Structure 1
């Protein structure tokens, strides 16, 4: 594909150019009432993140979707930096797949960025009829103008029905992306790296299992994944399946380095709490190794004697210098220098919640037999609830935003206070020179005080693009 040097489409020409883009002033976040018993639809919240604004750190708009029981989850854009050379494309529509209902919403953010509006609904019956796919998760824009969405199962919630949905630029269902007979065994996240003619996807589990809450027996029963699926791009042929083994259970978020010439990336394996690095070998195949390991904690007064950290989200700064990860159960956010991707170095850590914070009945056991709990500060007089879950980084890499809801059923199971009290959003200041993380005391968005009652906040996006939605070609 030819990349125009002079035409200006959406996004930025390079990841480094994106780092000098304008500071974020608005942030969109998916908010969930599904499973709450409130009888209210999920909604898209607009948060003011401009520190010079009188409504800084406040929800300034709420767009409820028309149906109940959707479980809004992740989001993506109709076009991004992969279309930068195409002046006919514009980053206008936020794509909201509904993980439980299977619906996909297209939200117009251009008419009024502070108050986005519903543009179109792609109905689950249409998707199922034309593709057999359900439980849509990750949406990425493609250089062609199409939108690709990973789907985690079929209409019955069976993982073997997973695959990749293609929507055209008008949000019409085109079909499946992968070739017949080349569907993955499990679905979740994906990232493509066109210069290496490769797309790699990860594997959470069967919707029939994870929608009911987490059951460790289901892992033994083979209802959760431990593989990466390597596809030819853009042809859609499954070229290789990487078995991550017992060190790579529940591989979730997956990211290549942003530099499109690089042939390496990472995947966060939630249950075993390892960051696995994947890379191309001299013979052109792909291999993997554990790059970061977060050890489980010995604990008392919990359901198991060992508590995994549960790495549920991570991202990479646009200059590929730092990797950030969230440990949802332990409660800390970490920063690693990955300038040598084979040898990440821990450069920052901050505690923002978790099951072992002071005041919790759960205590961690040190090697010498003593017990300890984490020191978690209050922010604006509020105790931090739940654990860090979704994270989003500013373009310049200096501000990290954090929400704390994973998936409503799992929230009820692991943090029963969270659905009752609601989510919150934090902002962490990042030292990009020496490394380091510090909570910004002036920023706190309390989704526990929403007009329709406490809601669960999940993924965040900036109108101008961010560190996890843009892919360069």
Structure 2
């Protein structure tokens, strides 16, 4: 069925407005008098979170289960490392905050911070990619939320396999593979781009391939110094064994694929 609303994370980062970030609800019904307009704003209870890439508590990877519903939206915060869970099932046009995981819990339980991109796993749990450790040093990897309770379960990968940096990821459950990209060192990212950071290991360069069921790193591709691979996607086909990754600094788009 056609989507009736869209949810958009909105941030006041790098503005003079000292207000909380908010989740905007946009009317997508072409027959509605409010079509294309923001019909609701859900402000977060804290300042300076910088809401980033939201994701469903259950998504496309779980759709083999006929009981799965998209009724919760998970909002990770890039700067504060806080996690919000929003109930969009009770009132889709006026969602409500139903859970908040504080940064200290992420720091102590996972030794992670600077949370970026969210996707659901085949078992219904939620995976969130991170960019660094609590001190802002580069450290990739993922934290896991329970898909039912939204409780923080811990790290997804083995500690010894955490990449030097992280940012985004995509997965193909039918192929048992997850591919993740590299971000930049968070304590440098907060200051914006600085040419003096080039050739100092601040910007990520790796594309990582993981065994999804074993949670193990199986292959790494070096895309070049200061390439900064960020957005990574498989083709929109659950059987596709290929995808693309876009590099923010080098400007190169790479195609990756499975060799037969």
TM bin, normalised by shorter chain, reads over 0.9
Matched, 1:185 2:180: no
Whether 2:205 is the aligned partner of 1:255: answer no
Give 1:340's aligned residue. none
Normalised by the size of structure 2, how large is the TM-score?
0.95
Whole-Å Cα distance in 2 between the matches of residues 79 and 116 of structure 1? 17
Measured on the aligned residues, the alpha-carbon RMSD in Å equals 1.4
Partner Cα separation in structure 1 for residue 182 and residue 84 of structure 2: 24
Pick from 201, 214, 221 the counterpart of residue 242 of structure 1: 221
Which residue of 201, 204, 215 corresponds with 2:183?
204
Correspondences of 1:434-449 after superposition (within 5 Å): none
Which residue of 253, 256, 260 maps to 1:278? 256
Equivalent residue, structure 2, for 1:140: 119
Q: CA deviation at 1:28?
A: 0.9
Q: Which residue of 1 aligns with 2:195?
A: 216
The answer to whether the aligner puts 1:38 opposite 2:17 as a matched pair is: yes
Deviation at 1:261, TM superposition (A): 2.1
* Number of residue-to-residue matches in the alignment: 259
Partner of 1:71 in structure 2? 50
Query: What is the Cα deviation at residue 88 of structure 1?
Result: 4.0
Contact 1:134/1:151, CA 8 A, preserved across alignment: yes
* Contiguous gaps of at least 5 residues in structure 2: none
For normalisation by structure 1, the TM-score amounts to 0.53
Matched with 1:458 is: none
Q: Provide the C-alpha distance between the structure 2 equivalents of 1:50 and 1:59, rounded to a whole number of angstroms.
A: 12
Q: 1:26 Cα deviation (Å)?
A: 1.1
Partner of 1:96: 75
Conservation of the 8 A alpha-carbon contact between 1:228 and 1:242: yes
Looking at structure 1, the residues matched to 28 and 189 of structure 2 have their Cα atoms a distance apart, in angstroms, of 33
Question: Are residue 27 (structure 1) and residue 27 (structure 2) matched?
Answer: no
What corresponds to 1:267 in structure 2?
Answer: 245
| Secondary structure at the counterpart of residue 67 of structure 1 | coil
The structural deviation recorded for 1:119 is 0.7
**SS of 1:89's equivalent?**
coil
Q: Measure how far apart 1:103 and its partner are.
A: 0.4
Counterpart-to-counterpart distance in 1, 2:53 and 2:198: 24
- Pair 217,234 (structure 1): closer, same or farther in 2 beyond 3 Å: farther
Show the counterpart of 1:121.
100
Where do 4+ consecutive residues of structure 1 move more than 3 Å?
none
1:206 and 1:110 map into 2 onto residues whose CA distance is 36
Decide whether the 8 Å contact of 2:4 with 2:27 is kept in 1: yes
Q: How does 1:228-377 map to 2 (within 5 A)?
A: 228-245=207-224, 249-282=227-260
Q: 1:47 aligns with which of 10, 22, 26?
A: 26
Unaligned runs of 5+ in 1: 1-21, 283-473
Is the partner of 1:125 in helix, strand or coil? helix
1:240 Cα offset (Å): 1.3
Return the alpha-carbon distance in structure 1 between the equivalents of residues 31 and 56 of structure 2.
Answer: 27
CA contact (8 A) 1:229 1:240 kept: yes
Please tell me whether the aligned partners of residues 140 and 182 of structure 2 are also in contact (alpha carbons under 8 angstroms): no
Shift of 1:279: 1.1
**1:155 is aligned to 2:134:** yes
Q: Give the distance between the partners of 2:26 and 2:174, measured in 1 at CA.
A: 36
Instruction: Compute the displacement of 1:49 (Å).
Output: 2.2
- Where relative contact order (Cα < 8 A, 6+ residues apart) is larger, the structure is 1
